[in-house]
Each structure stands twice: as C-alpha cells, then as structure tokens.
Amino acid sequence: MNKDLKIYIAGHKGMVGSAIWRSLTAKGYENLIGSSSKDLDLREQQAVRDFMAKEKPDVIIDAAAKVGGILANNNFPYQFLMENLLIQNNLIDAALQTGVEKFIFLGSSCIYPKLAPQPLKEDYLLTDTLEPTNEWYAIAKITGVKACQAIRKQFDKDYVSLMPTNLYGTHDNFDLNSSHVLPAMIRKFHEAKENNQAPVTLWGSGTPMREFLFVDDMANAVTFAVENKLPDYLYNVGTGHDLTIKDLAETIAKIVGHTGEIIWDSTKPDGTPRKLMDVSKMHDLGWKHQVELEEGVKKTYQWFLENIDNVKKIILTE
C-alpha cells in the first residue's frame, strides 16, 4: 500500500481509534488525520460534509461511537440508537459523496441474535431477535453494516465492516457507570485491594461466557483491512476463545492482587449467555490475534496504575 495515503480516523482519541493510529504509524503511515469532538461534531451532517470536502481523505476508518455497558444501554436507549445512527450515517454518506474508495466500519458482536448458535458466524446476522439490554446500539450498528454493504453492492467501492468481540486495553474507560465489564473489574478489584482487601460485588451469576480481544490486536486487524481489499462485506474479529465471567473475575483479581471475597449479585442481569465469535474468515485471509488474555490484562492494569491520576477525577466524584 501507498504509505502516503491520507487516512482519516474518526474517534482517533478513543481506546480503539488511538490504537489504530499507533498501529498505522508503526507500519509507516504518516498522513493520518483526526478531529476532536470539540472541533467536529460527527452528529452534524453539514459539518461532516464540509470536513470531508476540505480534507479529501483516501481512506476513512469509523472508530467513533457512543458506547457503554449494560447499565448505560438500559438507561439511555434513545441516545445509543440515535447518536450512533447520526455519527455513522453522516460519515458513510459523506464518504460516498466525496468519492472515498475505502471505508472501514467498526461495530460489535452484539449485532448478532441473542440465542444464535455458537460460535457466531457472519451469516447469522438478522436471523433472530437481539439481546434486549443492548438492542438499541446493535440496531444502529446493523444499519451501518448494511449501509456499507449497499454501497459495496451498488457502487462497487471497498467498504467493509469489522465486528470485534469485547475489546479492552490501554486508554480504556474505567467509569463504573459506563464502562464495560473488564475495565470495571480492574477498577473494582484495585479499589477493594486498596481498601484492606474489601469484598467485591459483581453483577449477575458469573456463568455467561465472554470472549475478549486486546485493543492492539483489533487495531492490527484494521491495518490489515487498510492494506488488503477484503473480498466480503462483513468480518468477525476476535480470538475464537472464551471464558466465564467468573473465570475472568478470578484472573483479574489475581493480577491486581485482590484476595478478598467476590460476591455475585444474581438480581442483576447476565446479558447474553454466550458470545463466541467464529473468526475463521479473518484467519483464512491471514490475520490472527497475538495477545492472550492474561498478558493483555497485565498491560491494561499497568496502564491504569500509570494513569491513575487521570481517572482519579472520576473516582472522586462517584
């Protein structure tokens, strides 16, 4: 690939976007552009169109989204549906209107039906009902996938969707009101350890199975998609391996150094029973994850400790 390609990363300051920026930079791409939400509101159609007309990127990577865990999705369904629709629709349409040939759309494994057979294959999309606790986000992301597929079909452009499993890593969100399960556990176990090994209460039964992918591996999958024309419109990105939430909690507690009691609050929802990705399509093309869970959690916890002052404002106000 031409290393002078002008690549716009939407959401470049987030956990995923910043990892993609690092991955592309490491491969020699120097003409990368991003714009903070203060300078460009991706929910505003005209602002996005003006930005695209001015910058004229060769490639767009959509890593921008309103994201959160079960609690946030349950409490703010309208925002999770509408804001994500606005962000992705504005980016996709502006890309088409300005002649962008390659667009990489990032979604989530929650686009698949709640009770779909395991592991989840790309073909299972729209074959059954969604998980109620995050269907608003899922419906928005499904719309993005289908929009890119439609452009691919109608205009023969290289628009592809990558659906990662549960992501975690450096620059993650550790806000207990909006974070996902893994960073939330890291913070809870760390604070409990600091509080004389206090008990930690976690949601649900601990029995659901989940798959986790270190964010740098996801970023490398995006770089792979930049450098190759993928033959299909939709690809799962994950490890192909999962574990119970209970096993995840015990792994994190061990790494953090928490030796206190773990209490499971079964009055809280478990979410989807299992979400294991079939990643054979990406494997067949030549991409595979590199970072295993324990190594990834250690890296993430180390980053949390090194940046504790940056998250302390959130910690102190909760």
152 annotated to bind ligand: no
Reduced to 3 states (helix: H, G, I; strand: E, B; else coil), residue 159 is strand
Residue 188's contacts (CB-CB under 8 Å, 6 or more residues apart) are 176, 200, 202
234 annotated to bind ligand: no
266 annotated to bind ligand: no
Consecutive H or E run containing 102: strand 102-106
Reduced to 3 states (helix: H, G, I; strand: E, B; else coil), residue 304 is helix
**Nearest residue to 80 (alpha-carbon basis) of 139, 125, 167, 132:** 139
254 annotated to bind ligand: no
14 annotated to bind ligand: yes
Residue 258's contacts (CB-CB under 8 Å, 6 or more residues apart) are 189, 190, 192, 193, 197, 200
Backbone φ and ψ for 282, nearest 5 degrees, come out as -70, -40
Consecutive H or E run containing 309: helix 308-316
108 annotated to bind ligand: yes
161 annotated to bind ligand: no
Q: Is 78 a catalytic residue?
A: no
Consecutive H or E run containing 306: helix 293-306
128 annotated to bind ligand: no
Among the options 137, 168, 235, 301, which is catalytic?
A: 137
Give me 304's structure tokens: 């949390």
296 annotated to bind ligand: no
Residue 268's contacts (CB-CB under 8 Å, 6 or more residues apart) are 203, 204
206 annotated to bind ligand: no
260 annotated to bind ligand: no
96 annotated to bind ligand: no
The full DSSP string for 239-296 is -S--EEHHHHHHHHHHHHT--S-EEEETTS----SEE-B--HHHHHHT------HHHH
16 annotated to bind ligand: yes
305 annotated to bind ligand: no
Which residues are known binding-site members for substrate? 188, 203, 210, 270
Known binding-site positions: 11-17, 106-109, 141, 164-167, 180, 188, 203, 210, 270
Which positions are annotated as active-site residues? 137
